[in-house]
């Protein structure tokens, strides 16, 4: 069971940008209710999920994994570096191509700021 | 001709409009009269649009024109419909029943509202709800709760409280709410209506103020299953504006028709379920047997974990979604000494207690050190619950269970948040697994308040729900 203090609550208040009341009694009331909610939801920790269960909702990275070149120096060859650069450029190009409008390597978006100024020019 | 909105179904109104017995203008004038008479007490509508009669007149023109051309009118042409306060209609107020949105006017329309307008439905106004759809009773609205028309000392259920009260109270013929954890089905059940959650992202979420993005769906509330189907058919479909909208070709159900219905008997052994509800399930099972269906026991071992999973996933998503209501990007600003102070003052004054609690929980479960134990684990248990549904739907075509643990309770009867959350125990598994589910009136509780029975179908099996729902409804009323 996780036991929260008013200091923990203050930290959450800062993270959520939601203020806490000034009075100690009010803070204590909020803490008690929040603690009961936390105890309730913490039940999930005890559930055993077999590995055979597919991942439908577990967050996964859908973007290309970043390359990390920390392998043996003999793998850092001209050929590997060239391939890496090609992959990176292709991913970048694929993303740019998905955008409705582009100018070179820049994405074209509707004008938001200084609209009036632009019109009068 | 006197029109009784409380008794009139959409189906019947459609026939009367097409036969020229009434006009949409007649219908909508009656609706406005009923709202004027009843809303001061029932508090279902937070606002009535100023162009209702113009919309009705335009619909009448189309009905006449279509009639002359011999074209079948769209189901909802000229039908007055209400929308929950979190569904955007361009140029109209929407505010999720929160003070932070007081005076906010939507700059664009939701796909659902646009579809309804294209089909000639008359959009009457915005309906009360729990603030930001966070509640199970309707009591967290910043504008006071809507009241159950069957007994005004009792809650109508939430969060789509006004959507249920407006239909059950005879103020509109149908309405739309949103369902993140039973927020359409619970109020429908408490108010004696039919309400539905469709397969996740078969109806567009574009233009609906988000709470839990992976759970939210817009859903219809109506007097009959047939009306519910008409409302659902008007808004269903792929939408390019909703990034998770399911392409039409992928909407394939594993069952073609209903033969076997599963009964998760162990679920009925959970504490806190009233005897009236258990009796009602048993009676409903008998009715289904008489209709020729085979009823079999099924086991969903982790379904009761759905609530814990829901409160972690929803609060994580809600704290992210609501972060933009800070007085800078959206929401009424309360000036402060600096930016941080402005944020705190804006949220402090603009948001209610339940919303703040869920934002704390979201911040907690997403924080470093707790992410894996809470959010990560909740997602994995969600995987398990969906997997168990998949396994059960290999054995049966539908699952039957109650909609609520009891009939509608008195205002103020539940003050502990966890007890309030428990009201959704039978509804929330559908949102967790993304399966469609419908609630249908099935009897009365100990105090004479309506009870609902719920059917779950496999993904994209909405037609199965309507098929069995209509037969059950007919059996139940005979």
Instruction: Tell me which residue of B462, B473, B472 sits closest to B255, measured CA to CA.
Output: B462
The beta-carbon neighbor of B363 closest among A16, A36, A41 is A16
Segment B386-429, tens digit of pLDDT: 999 999 999 999 999 999 999 999 999 999 888 888 889 999 99
Q: Is there a cis peptide before residue B159, judged by omega within 30 degrees of 0?
A: yes
Q: Name the one residue in this structure whose structure tokens are 């007919």.
A: B474
Q: Do A58 and B374 touch (CB under 8 A)?
A: no
Q: How many CB atoms lie within 10 A of CB B38?
A: 21
Catalytic residue among B84, B115, B147, B223: B84
Whole-angstrom distance, CA of residue B216 vs CA of residue B129:
15
Whole-angstrom distance, CA of residue B125 vs CA of residue B115:
16
Mean pLDDT within A14-26:
92
Pairing of strands B260-263, B398-402: parallel
Residue A66 in this model has a pLDDT that exceeds 90: no
Rounded percentage of chain B residues whose pLDDT exceeds 90: 91
A99's tokens: 């955008």
Residue A69 in this model has a pLDDT that exceeds 70: no
Cβ–Cβ < 8 Å for B157, B138:
yes
pLDDT, position B178:
98
Segment B252-284, tens digit of pLDDT: 999 999 999 999 999 999 989 999 999 999 999
Q: How far is C-alpha B255 from the geometric centre of its chain's CA atoms?
A: 25
What is residue B219's three-state secondary structure? strand
Residue A109 in this model has a pLDDT that exceeds 90: no
Cβ–Cβ < 8 Å for B261, B44:
no
Q: Do B374 and A53 touch (CB under 8 A)?
A: no
pLDDT, position A82:
84
Residue A121 in this model has a pLDDT that exceeds 70: no
B262's tokens: 């599963």
Residue A72 in this model has a pLDDT that exceeds 80: no
Q: Report pTM.
A: 0.90
Whole-angstrom distance, CA of residue B332 vs CA of residue A82:
53
Q: How many CB atoms lie within 10 A of CB B200?
A: 21
Q: Does A1 touch chain B (CB under 8 A)?
A: no
Residue A75 in this model has a pLDDT that exceeds 80: no
pLDDT, position A119:
53
Whole-angstrom distance, CA of residue B147 vs CA of residue B373:
40
Pick from A4, A23, A39, A44 the residue to mutate for testing the B interface (most B CBs within 10 Å). A44
Task: Please state, in angstroms and as integers, the Cα–Cα distance from residue B373 to each residue in A45, A61, B56, B70, following that order.
Answer: 6, 19, 54, 62
What residues of chain A lie within 8 A of the CB of B382, using their CB? 56-57
Segment B145-197, tens digit of pLDDT: 999 999 999 999 999 999 999 999 999 999 999 999 999 999 999 999 999 99
Stretches where chain B sits below pLDDT 70 are 69-71, 478
Segment A37-56, tens digit of pLDDT: 999 999 999 999 999 999 89
Instruction: Tell me which residue of B299, B296, B294 sits closest to B266, measured CA to CA.
Output: B299
* Residue B471 zone, left/alpha/beta (φ > 0; ψ -120 to 50; rest): alpha
pLDDT, position A73:
67
pLDDT, position A114:
67
The beta-carbon neighbor of B381 closest among A19, A40, A44 is A44
Query: Up-side HSE of residue B54: CA atoms within 13 Å toward CB?
Result: 4
Instruction: Identify whether B159 is a catalytic site residue.
Output: yes
């Amino acid at each position: 069971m996780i036991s929260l203090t008013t200091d923990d609550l203050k930290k959450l208040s800062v993270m959520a940008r939601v203020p806490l009341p000034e009075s100690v009694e009010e803070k204590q009331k909020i803490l008690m209710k929040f603690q009961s909610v936390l105890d309730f939801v913490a039940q999930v920790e005890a559930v055993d999920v077999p590995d055979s269960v597919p991942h439908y909702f577990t967050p996964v990275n859908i973007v290309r994994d970043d390359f990390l070149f920390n392998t043996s120096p003999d793998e850092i060859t001209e050929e590997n570096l060239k391939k890496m650069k090609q992959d990176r450029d292709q991913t970048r190009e694929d993303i740019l191509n998905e955008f409705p409008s582009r100018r070179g390597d820049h994405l074209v978006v509707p004008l938001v700021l200084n609209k009036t100024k632009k019109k009068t020019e | 001709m006197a029109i009784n909105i409380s008794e009139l179904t959409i189906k019947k109104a459609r026939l009367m409009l097409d036969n020229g017995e009434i006009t949409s203008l007649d219908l909508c004038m009656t609706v406005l009269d009923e709202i004027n008479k009843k809303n001061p007490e029932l508090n279902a509508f937070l606002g009535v649009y100023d162009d209702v009669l113009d919309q009705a007149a335009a619909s009448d023109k189309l009905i006449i024109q279509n009639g002359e051309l011999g074209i079948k009118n769209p189901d909802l042409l000229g039908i007055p419909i209400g929308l929950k306060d979190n569904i955007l209609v361009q140029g109209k107020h929407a505010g999720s029943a929160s003070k932070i949105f007081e005076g906010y006017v939507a700059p664009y329309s939701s796909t659902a509202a646009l579809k309804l307008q294209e089909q000639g439905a008359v959009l009457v106004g915005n309906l009360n709800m729990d603030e930001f759809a966070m509640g199970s009773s309707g009591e967290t609205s910043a504008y006071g709760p809507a009241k159950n028309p069957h007994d005004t000392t009792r809650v109508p259920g939430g969060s789509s409280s006004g959507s249920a009260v407006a239909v059950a109270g005879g103020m509109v013929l149908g309405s739309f709410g949103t369902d993140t954890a039973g927020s359409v089905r619970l109020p429908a059940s408490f108010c004696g209506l039919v309400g539905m959650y469709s397969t996740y992202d078969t109806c567009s979420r574009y233009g609906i103020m988000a709470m839990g993005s992976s759970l939210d769906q817009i859903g219809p509330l109506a007097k009959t299953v047939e009306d519910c189907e008409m409302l659902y058919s008007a808004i269903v479909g792929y939408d390019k504006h909703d990034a998770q909208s399911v392409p039409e070709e992928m909407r394939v159900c594993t069952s073609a028709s209903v033969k076997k219905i599963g009964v998760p008997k162990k679920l009925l052994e959970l504490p806190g379920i009233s005897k009236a509800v258990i009796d009602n399930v048993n009676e409903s099972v008998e009715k289904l047997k008489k209709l020729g269906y085979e009823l079999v026991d099924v086991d969903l071992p982790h379904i009761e974990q759905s609530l814990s999973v829901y409160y972690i996933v929803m609060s994580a998503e809600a704290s992210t979604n609501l972060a933009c209501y800070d007085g800078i990007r959206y929401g009424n600003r309360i000036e402060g000494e600096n930016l941080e102070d402005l944020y705190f003052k804006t949220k402090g004054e603009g948001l209610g207690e339940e919303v703040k609690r869920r934002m704390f929980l979201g911040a907690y479960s997403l924080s470093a050190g707790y992410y894996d134990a809470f959010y990560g684990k909740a997602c994995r248990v969600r995987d398990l619950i969906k997997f168990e549904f998949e396994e059960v739907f290999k054995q049966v075509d539908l699952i039957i269970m109650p909609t609520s643990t009891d009939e509608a309770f008195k205002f103020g009867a539940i003050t502990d948040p966890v007890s309030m959350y428990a009201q959704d125990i039978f509804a929330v598994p559908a949102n967790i697994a993304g399966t469609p589910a419908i609630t249908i009136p099935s009897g009365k509780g100990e105090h004479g308040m309506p009870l609902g029975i719920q059917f779950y179908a496999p993904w994209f099996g909405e037609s199965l729900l309507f098929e069995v729902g209509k037969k059950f409804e007919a059996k139940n009323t005979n």
